[in-house]
Amino acid sequence: MTVGLRVTTQKWDAARILVGILIGAGSRCVAGPEAPPTESASLHSKLIPWVEVNTLDPVAIDRAVEGLLIWRQITDTAIVSTTPGRAELYRRLKQKVPDFQIVPGLKTHSVLDRFDSVEGWRTIAGDVSAFVEITGSWQVVLENETALKSYAHGNQEMSLEHLRDGLALLPKNVRVVWYPSIYGQDAKTQQRLEAVCRIVAQQCDVQFTDLSIDGPKRIGDRWQGMAREKLKPLSRHPTMPILYCYGDDRWWQDEQIPEAIRMAEGKTVILYPGSKRWPEAARSLSGLLQSQVTRGSP
């Protein structure tokens, strides 16, 4: 699976005009079950919105539930990530929305003082087991952005063997959605992250996230195109694009999301509107997409 509009940096102006024409014409997508891309299924994607809930405060949980109840008009699955030790969050969510598929997610940096800490990964493995048991999910998102930052930028070294030992502790019957995967605007950063992703792929059933269309300015970015190509052979699962729609000019506007999903060529797409916009984005996008969505498991 590759980005629907294969554009180089030189062709970006033409691609931007094309996207604008399609959006202006009201181009739509249909979300459906994840499947290998084929010509006939190239515009059919499943949308999975993502929200962080890092507290057990009832107000925050109620706000998350408010969004979930709206999102289920167009999808039956959402990612809800949190900090370690918060299995109770998923118990409360399942009580309030028992018929909705919740993929649990874990921010790893608070238990990984070093990314290759075997004991840290032992703690994470325990949380993963608890989270998937409560939610009934066969997937878990590991959000490693902060935990990987020092290593990715060359400020900290890592034992890849220790990382291998730590990852081996994760449950084997769970697919790991790995965020972020390979990124960066230089070869050294990408090489360091590629080494990590190779270890992850050897130790886990993994699906890597893909930042190549996370915002309109990323289209045609050669570094993210390189990252996507490096990820392809590492996992038997297609990469999973993520779209950000925070509301400012750097990221997708809500009315652009149908065409952005179209670019994903049938992949399962993660949509991240941010916690502040969670219910508002649900209302806006359910209105834009409701008539074109087919439900189904990812």
So what's the pLDDT on residue 1? 34
Q: Look at residues 2, 49, 74 and name the one whose alpha carbon lies nearest to residue 289.
A: 74
**Lowest-confidence pick of 25-34, 206-215, 253-262:** 25-34
124 domain-assigned: yes
Does pLDDT of 297 surpass 90? Answer: no
What residue has token string 């014409």? 25
2 domain-assigned: no
So what's the pLDDT on residue 25? 33
What DSSP assignment string belongs to 123-170? HHHHHHHHHHHHH--SEEEEE-HHHHHHHHTTSS---HHHHHHHHTTS
CA 146 to chain centre: 15
4 domain-assigned: no
So what's the pLDDT on residue 45? 75
Is the whole-model pTM more than 0.75?
yes
Q: Give the burial string for 89-121 (b: 16+ CB within 10 Å, else e).
A: bbebbeeebeebbbbbbbbbbebbebbbbbebb
What's the rounded mean pLDDT across residues 185-199? 97
Residue, of 3 and 249, whose pLDDT is higher: 249
110 domain-assigned: yes
Determine what percent of the chain is predicted with pLDDT higher than 90: 77
Number of domains in the chain: 1
Checking 251-254 for CB contacts under 8 A at 24+ apart, the result is 251/214, 251/215, 251/216, 252/215, 252/216, 254/281, 254/284, 254/285, 254/288
Does pLDDT of 26 surpass 60? Answer: no
* CATH code (residue 173): 3.20.20.70
1 domain-assigned: no
Q: Look at residues 212, 197, 228 and name the one whose alpha carbon lies nearest to residue 263.
A: 212
Q: Report how far residue 266's alpha carbon sits from residue 1's, in angstroms, rounded to the nearest whole number.
A: 8
So what's the pLDDT on residue 238? 96
Spell out where 144-296 has E strands. 175-179, 205-210, 240-244, 269-272
Parent domain of 217: 9-32+40-292
Q: Report how far residue 218's alpha carbon sits from residue 129's, in angstroms, rounded to the nearest whole number.
A: 35
Label residue 291 by pLDDT band (50, 70, 90). low
Mean pLDDT, the chain, as a whole number? 85
So what's the pLDDT on residue 247? 78
Residue range 155-170, pLDDT digits in tens:
999 999 999 999 999 9
Helix (H, G, I), strand (E, B) or coil at 205: strand
Does pLDDT of 115 surpass 80? Answer: yes
What's the rounded mean pLDDT across residues 228-244? 97
Label residue 35 by pLDDT band (50, 70, 90). very low
Q: Residue 103 carries which DSSP code?
A: E
Q: Report how far residue 298's alpha carbon sits from residue 289's, in angstroms, rounded to the nearest whole number.
A: 17
Please report, for residues 11, 28, 86, 225, the alpha-carbon distance to residue 274 in angstroms, rounded to integers and kept in the order given.
31, 23, 20, 25
229 domain-assigned: yes
So what's the pLDDT on residue 249? 84
Does pLDDT of 17 surpass 90? Answer: no
Please report, for residues 3, 97, 130, 260, the alpha-carbon distance to residue 202 in angstroms, rounded to integers and kept in the order given.
25, 35, 23, 31
Determine what percent of the chain is predicted with pLDDT higher than 70: 83
273 domain-assigned: yes
So what's the pLDDT on residue 13? 41
